[in-house]
Amino acid sequence: MTDLRAQRPFNIFDLSGRASRLEFTIVLVAWLAVFIAYRGAGPQDLSMALLVGVAASVPMILTGVRRLHDRDQSGWWMLLSFVPLIGLIFLVFLAAGSPDERVNRFGPPARLLGAKG
């Protein structure tokens, strides 16, 4: 029997399955928008900045892991995103990279699950 949670696109709080380029790009743009909006809102205290940073980053990291799964890579590569400058380049590379078109150890391609990209 198939787990239906793993087949639903935009399942941003799950590590299992695969994420399409479109799904990852939308989460990446939303993540950047949150940080730009927060920075533009004026001075804030450190505890609020930490809370917003963690709240915005968790879905980004989890979707990035699933995007790596779509490329048949280990999710541990997502740790590169924490390295300044190299992390941003890595995220753009991850968003633009082509998926593994076959069924791999993480499941069927994301495009077969109803997501495009």
Ranges of each domain in the chain: 16-108
Tell me what pLDDT residue 29 has. Answer: 92
- Using an 8 Å Cβ cutoff, are 5 and 18 in contact? no
Tell me what pLDDT residue 3 has. Answer: 47
Tell me what pLDDT residue 2 has. Answer: 46
10-residue block means of pLDDT along the chain (117 residues)? 50 82 89 87 81 89 90 88 86 83 84 51
Tell me what pLDDT residue 93 has. Answer: 84
Tell me what pLDDT residue 30 has. Answer: 92
- Using an 8 Å Cβ cutoff, are 33 and 41 in contact? no
CA-based R_g, the chain, Å: 15
* Residue 107 bridge partners (DSSP): 104
* Residue 104 bridge partners (DSSP): 107
Tell me what pLDDT residue 108 has. Answer: 84
> For the whole model, what pTM was predicted?
0.77
